[in-house]
Amino acid sequence: MVSSSSYCKISPVISFLVLFLCVSSSVPPVFSSKPENIQQGNQTLRTGKEVQRLKLIKAHLKKINKPSVKTIQSPDGDSIECVPTHQQPAFDHPHLKGQKPLDPPERVRNGSADTASENYQLWSFSGESCPEGTVPIRRTTEQDVLRASSVRRFGRKFQRPIRRDTSSSGHEHAVGYVTGQQYYGAKASINVWSPRVASRYEFSLSQMWVISGSFGNDLNTIEAGWQVSPELYGDSYPRFFTYWTTDAYQATGCYNLLCSGFVQTSNRIAIGAAISPRSSYRGGQFDISIMIWKDPKHGNWWLEFGSGILVGYWPARLFTHLRNHASMVQYGGEVVNTRSSGYHTPTQMGSGHFAGEGFGRASYFRNLQVVDWDNSLIPPQNLKVLADHPNCYDIRGGINRVWGHYFYYGGPGRNSRCP
């Protein structure tokens, strides 16, 4: 069990990301064939639009689903395609055309690999794997794209205004963060749960953010963690995910490998695939270790998952401010609150229980670290914690010898104190 020796103090509200998320008519009956013609015309128009959308979807799927040498069926219904490394979506990007994946970077100093099992994903339980020279990619289906509001927005976060507060409706956070220095990466172990998500248009996630730029249209972020997103994946499994943007979510970046940019190098981890095992209330606890850091030699941002597995990298050329360093690191939970029924969403964050319940009940982040200018992992200095709506989702931080810097966080969403 974990005992806190000191707690972080909540600071004034600081920069966070916030999200903003048919009229029918009737014709009175008359004894004429004209309304029937109008109805047939409307039906034809609708059919024409549907056909056009399906054409766009098929073209998009052809673009992102690359030819594979092997297909592995996952127990959760996913198809994992083993795509030749040089044919992955990343190399469609104008800055990356004709390139090949880079060799592994210089590793971070003082890094200690976890000793837990590396069999973290459902698709790998069959014992099958992708051969060397390929990368496992979750196949995108027509149904995946149809759940999105449009083909253009598929795999992307909604465009949203960036403000220096978190009072806007939409996204709600419970996070720990550091700011005020130059950061070259971050690492944490993140407790994995299956929170209940109340609406197809909401999600619940736990992640790290590596951030640079002003909180305007030039915001750069790199993000990784786990999420439950019925709209994106069509189910309620927690899934390993990544995201990036270089213009505050307007036109650049996407989830996972749903656009060009992130270069995958691992043939063992599939981004977007379901994570297993998962934690249970008053039962077994499971967490995943994630590290993001900047290669001192080439400047690319690398992603490590589990016990030292290099998943791949975001090329430095994708970014503006993050070509140099990050100015903020965040760790924590986030949910979307659509208030679709007129009250706060019951979508859960983390385990769905408040931080005060502690180990085995509340979700946690442990062993929080940042990467300094010397490519070394060090404890975060002046870590602060903040919950946007503490009656809905809260957070409590501390330090001890076993977990280093850590915090518990989460909550049930709607309750008697969170109407």
DSSP 141-199: -HHHHHTSS-TTTTTSPPP---BSSS-SSSEEEEEEEEEEEEE-EEEEEEE-------S
pLDDT for the residue numbered 77: 93
* 220 bridge partner residues: 212
Residue 247 resides in a domain? yes
Determine the pLDDT at residue 7.
Answer: 38
Q: Which of 223, 231, 304, 357 is catalytic?
A: 223
Radius of gyration of the chain (CA): 22
Report the candidate in 44, 36, 242, 293 with the shortest Cα–Cα distance to residue 138. Answer: 242
Prior bond of 277 cis (ω within 30°): yes
Q: How confident is the model at residue 40 (pLDDT cuts 50, 70, 90)?
A: low
pTM of structure: 0.85
Residue appearing with tokens 């998009």: 60
Kindly tell me if the per-residue pLDDT of 15 is higher than 80.
Answer: no
**pLDDT tens digit string along 336-350?**
999 988 999 999 999
User: Could you tell me what percent of the chain has a pLDDT over 90?
Assistant: 71
Q: Is residue 232 part of a domain?
A: yes
Nearest CA among 226, 259, 62, 53 for reference residue 155: 259
In a domain, 25, yes or no: no
Higher pLDDT among residues 168 and 398, named by residue = 398
Query: Is 16 a domain residue?
Result: no
CA distance 413 to 344: 7
* Counted domains in the chain: 1
Average pLDDT over residues 71-94: 95
**Predicted confidence band of residue 4 (pLDDT cuts 50, 70, 90):** very low
Bigger pLDDT: 95 vs 394 = 394
Least confident of 53-57, 75-79, 130-134, 289-293: 53-57
Q: Please check whether residue 366 lies inside any domain of the structure.
A: yes
* 23 domain residue, yes or no: no
Q: What pLDDT band is residue 120 in, cutting at 50, 70 and 90?
A: confident
Verify whether residue 334 is a known catalytic residue: yes
Between 200 and 167, residue with greater pLDDT: 200
Q: What is the pLDDT of residue 23?
A: 27
Average pLDDT score over residue span 322-340:
96
Alpha helices in 30-132 (DSSP H): 34-64
The type of residue at 258 is L
What's the whole-number average pLDDT of the chain?
86
Average pLDDT of span 315-340: 96
Q: Indicate which residue of 81, 172, 202, 334 is catalytic.
A: 334
What was the pLDDT predicted at 388?
95
Q: What is the pLDDT of residue 215?
A: 76
Q: Which of 44-53, 173-182, 278-287, 323-332 has the lowest mean pLDDT?
A: 44-53
* Lowest mean per-residue pLDDT among 100-114, 209-223, 252-266, 314-328: 100-114
pLDDT at 115 over 50: no
**pLDDT at position 213 over 60:** yes
pLDDT on residue 20: 28
**pLDDT at residue 214, rounded to an integer:** 80
Residue 400 covered by a domain: yes
pLDDT at 25: 31
Checking if the pLDDT of 216 tops 60, the result is: yes
pLDDT of residue 156: 87
Are β-strands 384-387 and 171-183 bridged in parallel, bridged antiparallel, or unpaired?
antiparallel
- Which structural domain, as residue segments, surrounds residue 282? 39-410
Instruction: Give tens-digit pLDDT for 56-67.
Output: 999 999 999 999
- Which of 252, 173, 244 lies closest to 15, judged by CA? 173
Structural domain contains residue 416:
no
pLDDT score recorded for residue 126: 83
Report residue 191 as tokens. 């407790």
Active site residue 172: no
- Asked if the model's pLDDT at residue 18 lies above 80, the reply is no
Token pair of 137 as six digits: 């990619």
Residue 159: what pLDDT? 52
